[in-house]
Structure 1
Amino acid sequence: MKIALAALLLQAATAQTAPPIDAQAVDALVEKSAFSGDIRIADAQGGGWSRVGPLPQPARGDEDGATWRWASVTKQVVAVLVMQEVVAGRVELDRPIAAYLPGFRSANAATVTVRQLLQHRSGLPNPDDSPVGTGGFPSYYQPGYAGSRDPLTGYCAGPVKGAPGGDWSYNNCDYLVLGALLEAVTGTPWAALVEQRIARPLKIDFLAAYPGERFTRIGMIEGKPEPAIDLASYGAAAGLYGSVDALAKFDLALMDGTLLPKDALAVLWKGDPALGYMALGQWAFEAPLKGCDKPVRIIERRGGVGGVEVRNFILPEIGRAVIAFSDRAPFDFGEVWQGSGFSHDLLSAAACGKRVGE
């Protein structure tokens, strides 16, 4: 009842405050930047807007290119699953990970907390730093990797980079270990939890995790086909794939209280200024946007796998989600807080559109 009431209150508020979308400005931005990919703007009260940029090369097994690697947006989903376990009382954010994973062989296992893993403050090794493989890509993510990817005893349990609790340092091992945590406390693999708790209740037609991936856009890196990638190696750090509309459903369900109660969502979305506004599995901050009367609260999650890049923005105060997938890397999305660039201009058009008569 409380969740349903919260959703109704949010819908009532956004119905009054959500501005129109400046589709003409988005079209101009796509053309100016030669953007190749999908853009989706979705509203809590229904409707929205889509724009598909040029996608000249075919997708692998998906000719319309509708299915994308969610890359590190996977971390945002995993953070929600962890917070659901916090709500259920099975996980405490400030307990050491060893309390849940006694088999974790890292030197930091007894001191690093669940919260620190969610914030990338673990001091664990990072697979991005594994020896360079084909095409200059880290060998951890490529077929034929000779080491162990077991999150408890393999690469992530290797020599640490430092003590936990310092400044944040981006690290895929943090979420590979959190995936193992979820399985330990629920008895269910993290990917199955995504299906049970997110895809099925939200009626998402297709949202899955590797292995077995055949149906996503193929990325290009600096104009060349991406090197061979073992997509299953990304696991709970970046292993989900699905459509842009599926991601919009996830975003809207976060905003309306379907996936987490309001108090848990407040913890998830509490950005720490001392950590560059890092929250739990995402960034949360306010930024001025062109055309808006005041700074806009933004929840941001970004990611990239191979030649595919993604930006996922949630604007909770107006009940709107803004999503962009690109199949060209590197693509210059820019930084919203800098007041210019692709992401800033896209959000300005999505959140500060002019009303009739202005």
Structure 2
Amino acid sequence: MHRLLYVLFLSLCLAAPAGAAVPAEFIDRYAAEHHFSGTVVVQQAGRVGYEKSFGMASLAFKVRNTPQTRYRIASITKAFTAVLVLQLAEQQRLDLQAPIRRYLPDFAGSGGDAITLQQLLNHTSGLPNFDQVKDLQTALSEGVPAYQKPGTPAQLVARHCSGAPVTPPGSTFDYNNCDYIVLGLILEKVSGKTYEALLQERLLQPLHLTQTGLLRQGRIVENLADTYMQREDLHGLADDLPVYAENWYAAGSMYSTAADLLAFSDALFGGKLLKPESLAAMTRPGLDDYGYGVWSYAMTIAGKPHPVVKRPGRIMGAQTQLFRLVDDDTTVVILANTDAVDLDEFAAAIARRLFGGEAGTPGKTAQTGSP
């Protein structure tokens, strides 16, 4: 009997993840000290070791965030879009080396003949940047024109994402929502379906992501957290600026829960969505360590490199982080409804605690064109 217990104990030890136990007290303390509002989930070796929510989904009605709260996930949307593009490429319905105009014959300007789908995926297209308002003060005084006038995908491309490249395609990394808005329209043209329908058919329904979808100004989403920005002029939090969420389209218009995003991550890295060569291409770092829709780099913890694939997002008070330590089979999902916390640093701090380090840098931070 004693030998059997010993064998069982040894088997459990060998099956356990290489990292330490999830640092629950550290996460709780970090969240409290930084006034974090949102949900954190940490999974190791397929087992959720931490899931907790903090703060208010609605300050006005004093409704608390819970694990069932839906959040605006901002640019995590780009990871979903990249997967859809790669799936159609695997079926030879898209050629990543083909120019935009093969799929959008009416695309205006020389960029249509020069910019490839691959350059859209890795933000080296050179298209004029969709987001011209870079700070809150400008937004408060002049508005955010690209997002405060509704537009169809075709209208958005015509208004903001056409014309000649401002840098030679393939030469310069410039994080630009235009790239993924154009990709969304290409997906629609090739599939004959709306981006939303394609998303449902290929990702949300097969993975049973029932708490995930697209935001629209006229659509009420049950359990969706309100979002708030820090306003120095008001000495505290304030509602986000009024915008049409659908204008972020295939670049940033989705909502989800932490559990649904964890399921998406499990499917992606578990080989259920893409062939190995497609996943390798998606996560291969290029300029600025960016692959297709995600950043990919090595994070050094306690002197050891840990490969990371990360998809952050930020639109005003919506702050998001999908953080995967690839070789360690560890995923951190952080979704927030205020901009009080740097989620790049929060996720990195959790990773350092998990794997025996307390110093280091968080790596790449998501850029954003919205205040």
Q: TM class by shorter-chain length?
A: 0.7 to 0.9
Q: Secondary structure at the match of 1:117?
A: helix
Once residues 104 and 25 of structure 1 are traced to their aligned partners in structure 2, the CA distance between those partners, rounded to angstroms, is 51
Of 225, 228, 231, the match for 2:245? 231
Unpaired runs of at least 5, structure 1? 1-11, 335-340
Match of 1:105 in 2: 108
Q: Secondary structure at the match of 1:288?
A: strand
Alignment of 1:348 onto 2:349? no
Unpaired runs of at least 5, structure 2? 1-11, 231-236, 359-371
After superposition, residues 157-168 of structure 1 pair within 5 angstroms as 157-158=162-163, 160-168=165-173
User: Is the CA contact (8 Å cut-off) linking 2:126 and 2:169 kept in structure 1?
Assistant: yes
Question: Closer, same or farther in 2 for the Cα pair 1:330/1:63, shift >3 Å?
Answer: closer
Question: Closer, same or farther in 2 for the Cα pair 1:213/1:297, shift >3 Å?
Answer: farther
Match of 1:83 in 2: 86
Match of 2:144 in 1: 138
Give the aligned residue type for 2:178. C
Of 189, 204, 207, the match for 2:194? 189
Alignment of 1:67 onto 2:70? yes
Give the aligned residue type for 1:281. G
After superposition, residues 19-58 of structure 1 pair within 5 angstroms as 19=19, 20-55=21-56, 57-58=58-59
Match of 2:292 in 1: 280
Once residues 350 and 327 of structure 1 are traced to their aligned partners in structure 2, the CA distance between those partners, rounded to angstroms, is 25
Scaled by the length of structure 2, the TM-score of the pair is: 0.81
After superposition, residues 136-285 of structure 1 pair within 5 angstroms as 137-142=143-148, 144=149, 150-158=155-163, 160-211=165-216, 212-215=218-221, 216-222=224-230, 223-272=237-286, 275-285=287-297
Give the aligned residue type for 1:342. F
Q: Displacement of 1:161 after TM fit?
A: 2.6
Match of 1:338 in 2: none
Match of 2:323 in 1: 313
Q: Displacement of 1:332 after TM fit?
A: 2.5
Question: Closer, same or farther in 2 for the Cα pair 1:189/1:202, shift >3 Å?
Answer: same
Alignment of 1:123 onto 2:159? no
For residues 96-140 of structure 1, the C-alpha deviation after alignment (integer angstroms, 9 at most, x for no partner) is 121122121133110101111011111112221169655654211
Scaled by the length of structure 1, the TM-score of the pair is: 0.84
Once residues 147 and 253 of structure 1 are traced to their aligned partners in structure 2, the CA distance between those partners, rounded to angstroms, is 31
User: Is the CA contact (8 Å cut-off) linking 1:17 and 1:318 kept in structure 2?
Assistant: yes
User: Is the CA contact (8 Å cut-off) linking 2:17 and 2:45 kept in structure 1?
Assistant: no
User: Is the CA contact (8 Å cut-off) linking 1:38 and 1:324 kept in structure 2?
Assistant: yes
Once residues 283 and 227 of structure 1 are traced to their aligned partners in structure 2, the CA distance between those partners, rounded to angstroms, is 28
Q: Secondary structure at the match of 2:348?
A: helix
For residues 189-229 of structure 1, the C-alpha deviation after alignment (integer angstroms, 9 at most, x for no partner) is 22212111111111112211122443322221112211111
Give the root-mean-square deviation of aligned CA atoms. 2.8
Q: Which moved more, 1:155-164 or 1:190-199?
A: 155-164
Q: Secondary structure at the match of 1:93?
A: coil
Q: Which moved more, 1:343-352 or 1:68-77?
A: 343-352
Q: Which moved more, 1:73-82 or 1:101-110?
A: 101-110
Once residues 226 and 188 of structure 1 are traced to their aligned partners in structure 2, the CA distance between those partners, rounded to angstroms, is 31
Larger Rg: 2
Once residues 166 and 199 of structure 2 are traced to their aligned partners in structure 1, the CA distance between those partners, rounded to angstroms, is 30
Give the aligned residue type for 1:312. L
User: Is the CA contact (8 Å cut-off) linking 1:135 and 1:227 kept in structure 2?
Assistant: no
Match of 2:6 in 1: none
For residues 223-277 of structure 1, the C-alpha deviation after alignment (integer angstroms, 9 at most, x for no partner) is 22111111111100101111111111101111111111212111111012xx121
User: Is the CA contact (8 Å cut-off) linking 1:151 and 1:180 kept in structure 2?
Assistant: no
Q: Secondary structure at the match of 1:129?
A: coil
